[in-house]
Amino acid sequence: MPSSTPIEALPNQSPPSPIYLIRSAIDSQIQHAELANQATLSPFGDPSEIAMSHYYTAIFEHVVCLAEFSHFRLVLTMLLLPY
């Protein structure tokens, strides 16, 4: 996904899905980790380990967002079920 694509919807398009927004956030975290890997030499450890830490953090955030979204849908479905 190119980073120059605006997140706002154009007038004739529907708004982006939550999955698209989550994937965009993960892609940006991964790019940030790759840049940190290229640009930094840390006294705290190997830069590739630091980049992998950023990568796993992004994946964890992605899973948490999906779980929260799924929980919201489940609660909404259960509330509307009697109707």
DSSP 17-83: PHHHHHHHHHHHHHHHHHHHHHH---TTS-HHHHHHHHHHHHHHHHHHHHHHHHHHHHHHHHHHTT-
What's the pLDDT score for residue 1? 46
- State pTM to two decimals: 0.34
Q: How many whole angstroms separate alpha carbon 79 and alpha carbon 70?
A: 14
> pLDDT tens string for the chain (83 positions)?
445 554 554 556 677 777 787 788 888 878 877 776 665 555 555 666 666 777 777 777 777 777 777 777 777 676 777 65
Q: Locate the domains of the chain by residue range.
A: 47-82
